[in-house]
């Protein structure tokens, strides 16, 4: 499937553009599941000012979607209409500041931030070694691991809204809760500032290695997966509910529930995005029937299906 090419019309409206616009760019190449259709337009901005310029000057009714490293993401088989924004090198820097603080662009991989903090003797961010993806996604969903969450270390973040206005947000402005940020969905994070504490680099690196070893032993990180699929319902573990409902190893088409950790779905046989979403919805239905608990997707599902195909609960 491909979309009408609107890049020439957009370029005409953006004479001062410094980033790159590409029509019908494949997204399966950049998502960890390796599935999904194209972006109608993929935009890689040069920096925050370039991002703000484009958002301020494209038609207000044109859909805008932002993706990160593609780790916790399922792009549907029909692709994503409108502009898909992927932050690149202009958002991939870390800077150590006084007072055991570290600033990171939204495209910095979480593990890279953990390493930069360790090298600077800044403790308190080693948990990021266990989170796939980049800082922008961590801010959006208050990502966490090993007993800590983004909000436990965050001081402030910066974001650009749909009109191209830059906002500086204190932690108290962001209404962060479990796997959720209260920042408007159409705001795009550009950077974050974190507070750590004094630490010994060797000890921090040892802690990071323990986090990495735990992941390798308990999660299918070498598979084509999107990470943790469902949020934990209050008072419950999603994987235990899935296991109790008999879903460990369950398969739909080329998609399968991991036998190592059954809150992970894997693409192990040329799955389609529909296979993966149908498997997830089948799990939700079985868990609801077995325990009465409703699982909520943690993986973000974006885009449209192939013509005439269902999505969501209609898949079951």
Rounded to whole angstroms, the Cα distance separating 255 from 167 reads 40
Rounded to whole angstroms, the Cα distance separating 189 from 25 reads 22
Query: What pLDDT digit, counting tens, does each position of 6-59 carry?
Result: 999 999 999 999 999 999 999 999 999 999 999 999 999 999 999 999 999 999
Cβ contacts of 209 within 8 Å, gap of 6 or more: none
Rounded to whole angstroms, the Cα distance separating 90 from 105 reads 8
Tell me the Ramachandran region of residue 34: left when phi exceeds 0, alpha when psi lies from -120 to 50, beta otherwise.
left
Mapped onto helix, strand or coil, the DSSP state of residue 87 is coil
Half-sphere exposure of 131 (CA within 13 A, CB side): 29
Query: What pLDDT digit, counting tens, does each position of 250-302 carry?
Result: 999 999 999 999 999 999 999 999 999 999 999 999 999 999 999 999 999 99
Q: Give the model's pLDDT for residue 88.
A: 94
The pLDDT mean for the chain works out to 96
Rounded to whole angstroms, the Cα distance separating 293 from 284 reads 9
Query: What pLDDT digit, counting tens, does each position of 68-110 carry?
Result: 899 999 999 999 999 999 999 999 999 999 999 999 999 999 9
The Cα-based distances of 125 to 70, 83, 198 in angstroms read 22, 33, 11
Catalytic positions, written as ranges: 179, 228, 298
Query: What pLDDT digit, counting tens, does each position of 126-175 carry?
Result: 999 999 899 999 999 999 998 999 999 999 999 999 999 999 999 999 99
């Amino acid at each position: 499937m491909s979309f009408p090419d609107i890049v020439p019309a957009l370029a005409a409206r953006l004479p001062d553009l410094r980033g790159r616009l590409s029509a019908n760019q494949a997204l399966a190449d950049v998502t960890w599941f390796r599935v999904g259709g194209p972006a109608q337009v993929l935009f890689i901005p040069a920096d925050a000012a370039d991002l703000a310029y484009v958002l301020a000057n494209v038609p207000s009714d044109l859909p805008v979607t932002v993706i990160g490293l593609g780790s916790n993401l399922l792009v549907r088989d029909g692709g994503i209409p409108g502009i898909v924004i992927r932050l690149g090198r202009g958002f991939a820097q870390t800077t150590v500041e006084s007072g055991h603080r570290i600033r990171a662009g939204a495209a910095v991989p979480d593990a890279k931030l953990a390493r930069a903090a360790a090298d600077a003797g800044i403790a308190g961010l080693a948990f990021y070694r266990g989170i796939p993806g980049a800082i922008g996604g961590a801010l959006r969903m208050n990502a966490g691991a090993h007993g800590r969450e983004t909000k436990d270390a965050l001081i402030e973040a910066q974001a650009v809204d749909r009109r191209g206005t830059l906002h500086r947000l204190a932690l108290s402005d962001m209404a962060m809760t479990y796997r959720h940020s209260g920042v408007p969905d159409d705001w795009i994070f550009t950077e974050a500032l974190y507070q750590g504490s004094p630490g010994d680099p060797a000890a921090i690196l040892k802690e990071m290695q323990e986090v990495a070893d735990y992941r390798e032993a308990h999660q299918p990180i070498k598979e084509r997966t999107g990470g943790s699929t469902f949020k934990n319902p209050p008072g419950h573990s999603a994987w235990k509910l899935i296991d109790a409902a008999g879903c460990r190893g369950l398969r739909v088409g080329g998609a399968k529930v991991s036998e190592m950790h059954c809150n992970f779905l894997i693409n192990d046989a040329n799955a389609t995005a529909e296979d993966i979403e149908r498997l997830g919805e089948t799990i939700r239905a079985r868990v609801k029937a077995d325990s009465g608990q409703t699982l909520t997707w943690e993986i973000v599902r974006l885009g449209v299906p192939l013509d005439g195909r269902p999505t969501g609960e209609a898949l079951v």
